[in-house]
Structure 1
Amino acid sequence: MNRLKMLGLLALAGAFGNSASAGGMEPVPGMAPASTPLAATAAIRDAAGEVRGTATFQQMGLGVQVTVEVSGLTPGGHGMHVHEYGRCTPGVDPATNTVVPFGGAGGHFDPGMSHNHDDPVAPDKYGHGGDLPMLMVGADGMARMTFTTNKISLTGMNGVLNRALVIHAMPDDYKTDPAGKSGMRERCGIITRNNFSVRNYPLPGPTDFPEGIAYDAKKGMIYTGSAANGTIYAINAASGTVSKFSEGGAYGRRIALGLKVDAQGRLWVAGGAQGTVSVLSPDGMILNVLETPMSPAPYLNDLTVAPDGNVYVTDSRRPVIFRVDRNMNLTAWLDLTGTPIKYGLGVNLNGIAATPDGRFLLAIQLNTGDLWRIDLRTKAVRKVMGGLKNGDGILLDGHTLYVGRNKDQVVSKVSLSADYGSGTLVSEEPLMGLRYPTTLAMIGGDLVVPQSQLDKLMGGTPETPFKLTRFRKF
């Protein structure tokens, strides 16, 4: 990097430092304003664990206003970055391949998958999203700085909740991978949402990648299945105790996607690319494995139990909705060819729910963001609304629909009309930092969502332990 660019970036950091009263961008059109602004705080600690400062994060439109105050550093410039994991523990630093203080925070947060260290104004597709302006420390060892950036957010794909803010010992050259030659990690703080709490259910497997979820109210058990190996766990909702309900790799189940519990306590499992629907007894025995017609590209993704006992299943690659009747006969119930639902590349119909009156199915199309209503009597298809791209699983609670939007890392709340024919996006909830949320289950007044991390299923290092997260309905 040439000297003029470096001076320009230092000047930029100084300008950020004088922007404490600067406002953020306007709210996204069409979105209802949040009742309270989304905000977070990180207590910044040294390697001995002593708090040496704070950083605050305030959502401002599409960007975040960050204020950092820290003491005890050497005068001059210090590289400052958001790192991938919310762990201020020792670990391996990828820059040196040695165990260092705060190495547990991992590498730089890189939502754009750029694999490149760059300056704090580079778009995320060209540089790490976690590359922040240089922290300038005065002669007294104190630094006070406020800036606004749209490289990070407190929600969405570039969300930094439950990640770590790390301050390094040396200046950042804004070009050298992986950390701009900024030296040792001297300070670290976990970015924690203000005035918000959740309950996590950790899972035991190092490669679980939980995708589907179901709740058996009679037993007080949550079920979740692995998109990597098909293992199904049972979790006691009260105690959090986890047991293995059914071993992965069972007949007809190399993976486990959508799950549902029926009135008899049986667990239904969508088998993804195997094109199967498995039915397990309340004690985990395989009762049935139903196979859809042979096809080059099946992908049974989710299912729902209708009030009449029929089970409806989405296929994300073949334009068809399957039905399993009460006698365990599987048929292609609705050929979607010629309907308003047009299949394209990627994942098509995914989450599905039956309305409590037995009149309709609701289904979300992940690659388009469209929500559809399907009449169970006439098979007529109607578009309810758009704007829910990356919608994965859905949960219907009266006339409120919750949508897990995996890549967007939020749960969306939709208010539906009396006939389920139209909907309005009410709010979006990132919780304490979602990691690719998929499906949803309801326990009384709470929702539970798997943090699947499916974006790292084919490569990358997931955060462990994998977990389900429980939170109050919003």
Structure 2
Amino acid sequence: MPAPATTPLKATAALRDPAGQVLGTATFEQQGAGVRVTVDVTGLAPGQHGLHVHEFGRCTPGVDAATNTVVAFGGAGGHFDPGMSRNHDDPQADNHAGHGGDLPMLNVAADGRGRATFTTMKLSLTGMTGSLNRSLVVHAQPDDYKSDPAGMSGARERCGIVTRDNFSVRDYPLPGPQTFPEGVAVDAARGVAYTGSAATGTIYAVNLNSGAVSTFAEGGGQGRGSALGLKVDAQGRVWAAGGASGTVSVLRPDGFPVAILNTPKSPNAYVNDLTPAPDGNVYVTDSSRPVIFRVTPDLKLSAWLDLSGTPIRYAPGVNLNGIVATPDGRALLAVQLNTGDLWRIDLRTKAVRRVMTGLTRGDGLLLDGRTLYVARNAEQVITKVSLNADFTAGQIVAQEPLAGLRFPTTLAAVGGDLIVPQGQLDKLQGGTPETPFRLTRFKKF
């Protein structure tokens, strides 16, 4: 059973009319796996009004897919659809049959005031059905609960962004409509965070003070078509895992390539993450091929451990992903995304043992002493794990959705803060990502 977030989850949406005037509020409170919603809004025509959670946290004009015209609050996008049903349905439908954002109607009295209180299991404030930083929209007409895309519910008359109560983050916006940031690494001495594009291989440098973004290294050259896991070593060099290109790139602090290291040619290559270890080597995971590679200090790459002879069993999908070295220099920890298993790999004996399970969709890792933070991409949470003294067992102690996560991929430390890419890799092969893409910085929890 997943552990709860560190504080009770509550959120509020200030409901505005198209002129920007606040004419109501909606509150959201986590209750078990669902959420209790209370709506109170004024100035509407008496009768029933469609009520929906929309995908994007934007109450701005934009194109409404129902009419293909620019409308008030069109920037909120279509209905939130975590089950990818692509179908409008009633509030009792399973999310695989209908939009998760399809809610009960709002009944407005003769005085123009509409009130509603209900609990829905279609939404949450955390996880895959998380509604934080999405929009609640009140429509002009009743919802027929069947017509795509919005139940013939008419114009968008009120809109409010679902904002977590008493919680703040700092976002670093990134350029480009197709950036899809995957990795993140911090050079504390320079005050810079690096993030790499899964789509193009370009690596960006983000000034952690000002938020200014510059291109550190263009993608597409030297065989780097994507940039996944990133690390900064003691020399200030940036290491990048090249995904399907099968490469490991090593770049000087000025972005000039020091080396492009090739793993053996294979149609199944997927070099995903890497970590410097206290022994001076860098260890590299491949999510498709059951092998851990090692790069020695003289930048020689070789296969270090054949995983086919270990308890780790590769299966369809993404296998070993995030990897970190324990501070005692004795072991590596790696998470297997498709099984949720966390593994300990002894650096001296190469013995492999399962530390724990329950980390499904575990992507990137950050080890802070005996605390392990796990970015769980499609689950849309950061999971905090407490490990024992020899890193052979762990327990989930908290789940954190921040102010609304969009497929978080990994983490890096910035002093007492953490920083995570909102990767949106679930939209990489289709769908409309939220832009601008961003890194999000928040206090350790």
What is the SS of the residue equivalent to 2:209?
coil
C-alpha separation in 2, matches of 1:90 and 1:240: 27
For 1:36-115, what aligned pairs fall within 5 Å after superposition?
A: 36-115=7-86
- For the pair 1:417 / 2:352, whether they are aligned, the reply is no
Residue aligning to 1:120: 91
The reply to whether residue 135 of structure 1 matches residue 106 of structure 2 is: yes
Shift of 1:466: 0.3
Q: Which amino acid aligns with 2:425?
A: L
Aligned to 1:323: 294
Equivalent residue for 1:10? Answer: none
Match of 2:424 in 1: 453
Q: 1:23 — aligned with what?
A: none
Write the distance in 1 (CA, Å) between the matches of 2:438 and 2:5: 27
- 1:203 and 2:170 correspond: no
Which of 195, 200, 205 aligns to 1:224? It is 195
Question: Could you tell me how far 1:140 is from its partner in structure 2?
Answer: 1.0
1:261 paired with 2:263, answer no
3-state SS of 1:57 partner: strand
How far apart, CA to CA, are the structure 2 residues paired with 1:101 and 1:320?
Answer: 53
RMSD: 0.7
1:318-357 CA-partner distances (Å, limit 9, x unpaired): 0000000011111100000121100000000000000111
C-alpha deviation, 1:32, in angstroms: 4.0
Q: Do the aligned partners of 2:6 and 2:400 also contact (CA within 8 Å) in 1?
A: no
The equivalent position to 1:147 in structure 2, one of 94, 105, 118, is 118
Number of equivalences? 445
Q: Distance in 1 between matches of 2:309 and 2:202?
A: 37
Q: Matches of 2:280 and 2:183 in 1, distance apart?
A: 20
- Rounded to whole Å, the distance in 1 between the matches of 2:303 and 2:7 is 47
Distance of 2:215 and 2:244 partners within structure 1: 23
Partner AA of 1:94 in structure 2: A
Contact 2:6 2:399 in 1 (8 A): no
Tell me which residue corresponds to 1:395. Answer: 366
Secondary structure of residue in 1 paired with 2:248: strand
Q: TM-score, normalised by structure 1?
A: 0.93
Deviations 1:18-69 (A, max 9, x none): xxxxxxxxxxxx4445453100000001111111100000000000000000
1:169-208 to 2 correspondence within 5 Å? 169-208=140-179
Counterpart Cα distance in 2 of 1:299 and 1:141: 58
SS at match of 1:157: helix
- Separation (CA, whole Å) in 1 of partners of 2:281 and 2:427: 35
The corresponding residue for 2:214 is: 243
Write the distance in 2 (CA, Å) between the matches of 1:338 and 1:284: 38
Which residue matches 1:444?
415
Alpha-carbon separation, structure 2, partners of 1:339 and 1:31: 28
> Within 1, Cα distance between the matches of 2:158 and 2:4?
35
Name which of structure 1's ranges 396-405 and 198-207 shifts more when overlaid on structure 2.
198-207
- Consecutive unaligned residues in structure 1, runs of 5 or more: 1-29
Given that 1:252 and 1:278 are in contact with CA atoms closer than 8 Å, whether structure 2 keeps it comes out as no
- % of aligned pairs identical? 73
- Give the letter aligned to residue 130 of structure 1: G
2:308 aligned counterpart, secondary structure:
coil
- Write the distance in 2 (CA, Å) between the matches of 1:90 and 1:389: 37
Give the AA of the match of 1:167: V
Q: Secondary structure at the match of 2:231?
A: strand
Contact kept? 2:6, 2:398, Cα under 8 Å: no
Q: Distance in 2 between matches of 1:33 and 1:270?
A: 33
Q: What is the letter of the counterpart of residue 105 of structure 1? A: A
For the 8 Å contact 2:201–2:226, the answer to whether it is kept is yes
CA distance in 2, matches of 1:261, 1:36: 33
- Whether the 8 Å contact between 1:265 and 1:281 is mirrored in structure 2 is yes
Aligned CA distance change for structure 1 residues 33 and 228 (closer, same or farther; 3 Å): closer
**CA separation in 2, counterparts of 1:37 and 1:186?**
31
Gaps of 5+ in 2: none
Partners of 1:242 and 1:35 lie apart in 2 by 32
Normalised TM-score (structure 2): 0.99
2:282 to 305, 311, 336: 311
Corresponding residue to 1:377 among 344, 348, 354: 348
**CA distance 1:168–1:223, shift in 2 (3 Å):** same
Give the letter for the 1:55 counterpart.
A
Please name the residue that 2:318 is paired with. Answer: 347
1:96 partner letter: T
The one-letter code of the counterpart of 2:385 is: V
1:295 offset after TM fit, Å?
A: 1.3
AA aligned to 1:335 is D
Shift of 1:180: 0.4
Q: Provide the rounded CA distance (Å) in 1 between the counterparts of 2:316 and 2:289.
A: 11
SS of the equivalent of 1:393 reads: strand
Name the CA distance, whole Å, in 2 between partners of 1:338 and 1:359: 20
Name the CA distance, whole Å, in 2 between partners of 1:206 and 1:366: 27
Matching residue's letter, 1:48: A
Asked if the contact 1:268/1:278 (under 8 Å) is kept, the reply is yes
Query: Counterparts of 1:31 and 1:440 in 2: how far apart (Å)?
Result: 20
Per-residue displacement from partner, 1:430-463 (whole Å, max 9, x unpaired)? 0010000001100110000000000000101100
- 2:442 corresponds to which residue? 471
